[in-house]
Amino acid sequence: MSVEPVRPVSASGPVSAPIVAVEGLTRVFRRRGAPALTAVDAMTFRIAPGEAVGYIGANGAGKSTTIKMLTGILAPTSGTARTVGLDPMRDRRELARRVGVVFGQRSQLWWDLPLRESFDLLAAIHRLDRLRATRRTGQLVELLDLGPTLAQPVRSLSLGQRMRAEVAAALLHEPELVILDEPTIGLDVLSKARLREFLIQTRREHGTTLLLTTHDMGDIERLCDRVLVVDHGRLAFDGTLAGLAGTVGARRVLVVDLDRPSEPLHGIPHTQWLGAEGEGVRQRLAFDPADTTAAAVLAAVSERVTLRDLSIEEPDIEDVVRRIYSASS
């Protein structure tokens, strides 16, 4: 089975120029004593201003390579990439003024100085005047709850604190596009939630465009309205999260709360009974939207028991991505 990329809803929507435009982008690594590796293979996509795009795929699928080409760190072998309307190789410095990047694994901060000084230095590097620098730093420090850590040397920050500081550093110059490479990797649940909330708020207030790679599907679910799935350097999917689930026929789960403890709901057509809690008061049924509809399942359930409440759980995205892989390989 092959997966046809679905056109994103947003690509046809806004008329403004794309903030990221990638056309036949290809990157081949030649390695001594090993066959050449095509890390990114004829990739084509566009991102409109204001979108929030999740860029997902397995390790080595070509995510970081794409990001490096979008930011001018790496030259494409062929094809073109334009970021905020600029050629990343030629206009790297101008690009750096308008884009913020967080690399989960490499720090933008000065590890041997108090955090506050990293912000001061970045403000100087981005030529923010004193007033703007103070105002912006204050904002970010408050929103990301960095106040207590400002006087600490960066090397002594916890991972969660450091990641929030990295995000603040990348956003200090109020970039139109923020690229985040694994921003939540290794963070605890609370730190993740905090970071996501901040990004949502930033996007809402400033219309900032987000492009993020992640292994954490929670990031995608909470932050992104569009997903690009990359596999072996190729775009395997481009569309909404729901569309992604729909394309590969991901199962959904119907959770029903009943008025009294009941027998397991076995035998509902096109469903699989997943389990029950509270002696059968809450039961879970999986179904595939390709075979049946939520309404049909619900009707069949109502014939047997009385419903008090119901919810439909979104598909497990990791499962979906895995299916995309197995489908396209």
Q: Least CB distance from residue 233 to other proteins, whole Å?
A: 14
Rg (CA), the chain: 23
> In the set 3, 11, 42, 121, which binds other proteins (CB under 8 A)?
121
- For other proteins, which is the closer residue by CB, 117 or 314? 117
Q: Which of 62, 57, 58, 84 is nearest to 74 (CA)?
A: 62
| Distance between CA atoms of residues 117 and 115, nearest Å | 5
Q: Does 113 bind other proteins (CB under 8 A)?
A: yes
> In the set 16, 106, 131, 267, which binds other proteins (CB under 8 A)?
106
* Chain position carrying tokens 């999740």: 54
Q: Does 126 bind other proteins (CB under 8 A)?
A: yes
| Distance between CA atoms of residues 114 and 125, nearest Å | 17
| Distance between CA atoms of residues 317 and 242, nearest Å | 10
Q: Which of 12, 78, 65, 83 is nearest to 232 (CA)?
A: 65
Q: Which of 164, 100, 106, 155 is nearest to 126 (CA)?
A: 100
* Residue count, binding to other proteins (CB under 8 A): 34
> In the set 22, 43, 74, 143, which binds other proteins (CB under 8 A)?
74
Q: What is the dihedral of CA 322, 326, 328, 329, to 10 degrees?
A: 130
Task: List the beta bridge partners of residue 255.
Answer: 284, 311
> Interacting stretch for other proteins, rule CB under 8 A, among 87-95, 136-144, 236-244, 310-318?
87-95
Q: Least CB distance from residue 63 to other proteins, whole Å?
A: 13
> In the set 11, 73, 185, 286, which binds other proteins (CB under 8 A)?
73
> In the set 120, 176, 197, 316, which binds other proteins (CB under 8 A)?
120
Q: Least CB distance from residue 141 to other proteins, whole Å?
A: 19
4-33 positions binding other proteins, by CB under 8 A: 29, 33
- For other proteins, which is the closer residue by CB, 106 or 204? 106
Residue 260, both tokens: 């009294």
> Interacting stretch for other proteins, rule CB under 8 A, among 48-56, 108-116, 264-272, 277-285?
108-116
Q: Least CB distance from residue 57 to other proteins, whole Å?
A: 18
| Distance between CA atoms of residues 275 and 283, nearest Å | 6
Q: Does 117 bind other proteins (CB under 8 A)?
A: yes
- For other proteins, which is the closer residue by CB, 140 or 265? 140
> In the set 65, 83, 149, 247, which binds other proteins (CB under 8 A)?
65
Per DSSP, helices labelled H in the chain are 9-12, 63-70, 92-98, 115-125, 130-143, 159-171, 189-206, 217-223, 241-247, 294-304, 317-328
134-153 positions binding other proteins, by CB under 8 A: 153
CB 192 within 8 A of CB 185: no
| Distance between CA atoms of residues 170 and 167, nearest Å | 5
- For other proteins, which is the closer residue by CB, 17 or 124? 124
- For other proteins, which is the closer residue by CB, 95 or 321? 95
Q: What is the dihedral of CA 198, 200, 205, 211, to 10 degrees?
A: 110
Provide CB contacts within 8 A for 299, sequence distance 6+. Answer: none
199-258 positions binding other proteins, by CB under 8 A: none
Q: Does 132 bind other proteins (CB under 8 A)?
A: no
> In the set 72, 183, 239, 315, which binds other proteins (CB under 8 A)?
72
Instruction: Provide the binding-site residues for other proteins, judged by CB under 8 A.
Output: 29, 33, 65, 68, 71-75, 89, 92-94, 96-97, 99, 101, 103, 105-108, 110, 112-113, 117, 120-122, 124-127, 153
